[in-house]
Amino acid sequence: MSASPPNRRPLIAGNWKMYKTGAEAAAYIEQLKLLLPSNLEADVALAPSFTALESALMAAGDSPILIAAQNVFWEDEGAYTGEVSVPMLNGLGVEWVIIGHSERRQYFGETDETVNRRVIAALAGGLNPIVCIGETLEQREANQTFQVLTAQLKEGLAEVDNRAAQSLTIAYEPIWAIGTGRTATTEIAQEAHRVIRDELERIFNKELANYIRILYGGSVKPENAAALLAQPDIDGALVGGASLKPDVFYGIINF
């Protein structure tokens, strides 16, 4: 396991997407708890569907496993059928939330503006957002990657003040690497993470840029986790497919 700056202990987060009922989530977490050593060297989070959050929290109990929601709406309450608010997550005891995942952007019309509204509301309600950004294959091939990433950060994090920014985590997820089995090379990932950290410095300041964790996501598996996480600006992983089985996910946690 590589040494990270003390404030950037690795965070390995599993995004279960639309998989697992409450009972399946609880059974998984019971198995993962048995695998986790007492001297765990990474923070571990799991993001079940809304319907499995309560059983996941109960199964996680006082273990180090953090539970995250996969999305949150910006209004506290109102006529917004199908949405879930920050106070609702607070009421369950959920402290983490993924915002702006590329699947939300691709299939559900998320934009940097709606991402920003969710981020602002989540931070105001004391949640720790994991804000996802990343370029499409077309954007990468047109040499627009860095422009896209900096715009997503500028717009997605607009009006976030420096104090609240301490609760942020960024996930760099190149869309062409999500669920495709195609992982960014360590060089490509590190280069993008460096660009992201430089932009965080412009938006906030150097201290915060060095403090905020930047996770890599896109076909992370036990076989490629160590090389990715050895990069100086990669502080963890957001894992989709390989988080669905506890033993495989543990292979990444134990990179």
Residues annotated as catalytic are 101, 173
Residue at shortest CB range from ligand PEP: 240
Residue spans of beta strands (DSSP E) within the chain? 11-15, 43-47, 65-69, 96-99, 128-133, 169-172, 213-217, 236-239
Alpha-carbon span 196 to 211, nearest angstrom: 13
How far apart are CB 148 and ligand PEP at their closest, in Å? 17
How far apart are CB 173 and ligand PEP at their closest, in Å? 5
Residues that bind ligand PEP (CB under 6 A): 15, 17, 173, 178-179, 217-220, 238-242
As beta bridge partners, residue 165 has: none
User: Which residue, 19 or 146, has its beta carbon nearer to ligand PEP?
Assistant: 19
How far apart are CB 39 and ligand PEP at their closest, in Å? 26
